[in-house]
Structure 1
Amino acid sequence: MMEPTRLADWDHAGLALAHAARSPWLDSLFATVTWLGSLAVLVLLALLLGWRRCGHRNAAFVTLALIGASALGHLVKLIAARPRPDLFPPLIPMPDDASFPSAHAMQVTAFALAWLLRPGASPGRIEIAVLLAAASLVGASRLYLQVHFPSDVVAGVMLATLWVVLLRRLPAWRENS
């Protein structure tokens, strides 16, 4: 495990790197891409894609994975109460909640993994690549926009992964249920 000072150094270096990469077109790109991690967009997407493409049961799995990850993330935020970064000016209005973990990173990761791991799914390479790219871009957007530390994003991805894998192992979501 990283020592607190090394973690802080890593977080600050990550934000400095993101700040150094600023350009007008990236400002616009990441301000738009970050919305792919919002709960409202992802729940709507889960419901629309789920019921249209894979039935009620799988739509319920993806939606539950997403809402559960969001709830878990916000619970951890209340416990950790980590302030938002203030090394560089944020490019969007600073969210009011705590920084750790990144809810956007958690939510988009939960959506992507739940979609890929939904019962009966056999995703192709393109589907996997698109979902992983979307999750990666949302995570990068949170750093680029200066609203999260890198460790917030990594923690969000890890917690979402753990949540979705544990949820998928429950008897209700097994293939023969």
Structure 2
Amino acid sequence: MLYKIPLLLSKKIKRFFQLPFMQRLKQKYPWLFAFIRKRFKTGDFFGLPFTILITLIFINLSMLSEITEHVVNSPKVKNLDTEVSGAFFNLRTPFISLLLYYFTQAGSVYGVTALTTLISILLLWKKRLYQLLALLVSVLGSGISMHFSKFYFHRERPLNLAYYATEGSFSFPSGHSTSAMALVGVLCYIAVLEVKSNKVRSLIIILGLSYILLMGFSRIYLGVHFLTDVAAGFLLGLLWVLLAVGLMEYSALKQLKRTKS
């Protein structure tokens, strides 16, 4: 899907490199012009599609780094986390708490493993090997990085506000939020690629985003994670989604070249 964006922009990109100041750059610094031209090359994964992905990954890592630094060093952010968790604790009701408790089980290790296994079998049956590999990269990669991040930061959960006893793991980042983004994000992308109707695509995206956001909300509402835990989990999961998307885009462009040749 991303590979189609450069194809749609190809004429505008061509005009951009024909502008006077770009032509002057070509004359004065041909090596720099050639480097920029390659970064905006259409029809090649390591051209504009790769540039788009690298830019998104850089932005993601910058935001994740910023949150991590504030969680470790900023008393204001720690106070904000405490205030937000306290506010949700005061709004908590037995019915909604129980409802979200059962919902959040879908984001547990068992829930994610079960859904990933079922989707993997389906993709394998349909011989969508690149999509299967992308799914596994996103889910397994996010799970491993999340595990080591928790171990590294050793942040304690807000146990005095928790609705239920947690499994004993650390708080930062939220595993449920990471897994929800990594799994549902890739599944939504695959579904959007397969569906032709724009209305159905929009519905898939809305449902996917709603699930991810509700999963993060439930972790704060139930008092088992802080706000920054959830935000970091979303960003960490999104990082692996971007890598998985890159893998699928590489496959799509490869197949496109085969059909043209």
When the two structures are superposed, what TM-score results if normalisation uses the length of structure 1? Answer: 0.87
* 1:82 Cα deviation after fit: 0.8
Match of 2:210 among 119, 128, 133: 133
The answer on whether the counterparts of 1:106 and 1:156 sit within 8 Å (CA) in structure 2 is yes
Instruction: Report matched runs for 1:1-177 at 5 Å.
Output: 2=70, 4-52=74-122, 55-57=127-129, 58-88=131-161, 90-118=162-190, 121-122=193-194, 124-170=201-247, 173-177=250-254
* CA distance in structure 2 between the partners assigned to 1:73 and 1:173 by the alignment: 26
* 1:50 Cα deviation after fit: 4.6
Closer, same or farther: CA 48–10 of 1 in aligned 2, 3 Å: same
Aligned-pair identity in percent equals: 24
- Farther-moved stretch of structure 1 (129-138 vs 51-60): 51-60
The answer on whether the counterparts of 2:138 and 2:243 sit within 8 Å (CA) in structure 1 is no
* CA distance in structure 1 between the partners assigned to 2:148 and 2:190 by the alignment: 25
SS of residue paired to 1:174:
helix
Ranges in structure 1 where 5+ consecutive residues have no aligned partner: none
Higher relative contact order (CA 8 A, sep 6+): 1
* CA distance in structure 2 between the partners assigned to 1:138 and 1:80 by the alignment: 22
Letter aligned with residue 237 of structure 2: A
Closer, same or farther: CA 141–119 of 1 in aligned 2, 3 Å: closer
Cα root mean square deviation, aligned: 2.4
The answer on whether the counterparts of 1:84 and 1:148 sit within 8 Å (CA) in structure 2 is yes
Runs of 4+ residues deviating >6 angstroms: none
Ranges in structure 2 where 5+ consecutive residues have no aligned partner: 1-65, 196-200, 255-261
SS of residue paired to 2:159:
coil
Closer, same or farther: CA 112–73 of 1 in aligned 2, 3 Å: same
* CA distance in structure 1 between the partners assigned to 2:114 and 2:167 by the alignment: 22
Q: How many residues align?
A: 176
Give deviations 1:93-113, integer Å, cap 9, x for gaps.
122111100011000110111
> Would you tell me which structure has more helix in proportion to its own residues?
2
* CA distance in structure 2 between the partners assigned to 1:47 and 1:121 by the alignment: 21
**Based on CA coordinates, which of the two structures has the bigger radius of gyration?**
2
SS of residue paired to 1:118:
helix
The answer on whether the counterparts of 1:116 and 1:122 sit within 8 Å (CA) in structure 2 is no
When the two structures are superposed, what TM-score results if normalisation uses the length of structure 2? Answer: 0.61
